[in-house]
Structure formats: C-alpha cells, structure tokens
Amino acid sequence: MTPELTKLTWVVVLQFLCWIPYVLNRTVVQGLVDTVGYPDNPKPLAPWAERAKRAHYNGVENLVVFAAIVLLLNAAGISNDTTIMACTVYFWARLAHYLIFAAGIPWLRTLSFFAGWLATGALILQAL
C-alpha cells in the first residue's frame, strides 16, 4: 500500500471514531432510549459535544474530496514527496481541527481547516 493510501486509511479511521464522544454525551444527557429513538424535544448536548458533532460532519464532508483525489492519484500512479507530505499534513490538520473545534478555539479551528484545505489543493495540483 502506498503512503498516501495509508494516510487515507488513517483519515477514515479518524472519521470512523469521531462520532463516539458526542454520542456518549448524548447518552448521558438524554438517556439511552432517547439516544436511539426520535424524541420530540431532545435535551441539548453539551456545547463541546455540539461542536464535536459539527467537526465530525465537516470532516466527513472534506473526506469525500480528499479520498477522491488520493484514489485518483493512486490510479494514475502518482506518488512523490509532495503527495506524501500533503497526505500527512491533511491527517494532522483534520485531527487538530476536530480537537480544536470541540474545544471551541475559533482562530485555531480556522487555521487547522485551512491547512487541510491547502493539503488537498496540493494533491489536486499534483494530479493536474
């Protein structure tokens, strides 16, 4: 497996796990029955859990573009120092984004998102 596909796998694992903290909070706040059901007036999650949920959704949305370009590069046989570094930066930027977003730190959240966006842009440029 190429380094890029390995990084893609780790990004997928990250997104696979990101729902756990906010669902645990939901279970604590709303109870198990409401967590697995559809209550009419659910109790609100803790602010950090709401932010973690939004960070997870954002990560999933961005995973679509990142995965598509990594798979395209792999199919084209393109792998170099730039693609490897961009994939590494993307992973760490997305992890930082999730943690910083959940913690509620606005400027760093934006910077970590932008780092991931730039890494994806670098991958796109390698494809072109």
User: Which pLDDT belongs to residue 36?
Assistant: 83
Q: Read off the pLDDT band of 86 (50, 70, 90).
A: very high
With a pLDDT cut of 70, the percent of the chain lying above it is 100
Helices 106-127 + 47-76 axis angle, to 10: 10
User: Which pLDDT belongs to residue 34?
Assistant: 83
pLDDT in tens, 18-34: 999 999 999 999 888 88
Decide: 18 and 98 in contact? Cβ < 8 Å: yes
Domain ranges of the chain: 3-17+46-127
Task: For the chain, give the mean pLDDT.
Answer: 95
For the segment(s) 3-17+46-127, the CATH number from 3.30.70.380, 1.10.490.10, 3.30.56.10, 1.20.120.550 is 1.20.120.550
User: Which pLDDT belongs to residue 35?
Assistant: 85
Mean of pLDDT values over 34-41: 85
Decide: 125 and 80 in contact? Cβ < 8 Å: no
Say whether pLDDT at 37 is over 90: no
Mean of pLDDT values over 48-77: 97
Say whether pLDDT at 113 is over 90: yes
User: Which pLDDT belongs to residue 33?
Assistant: 85
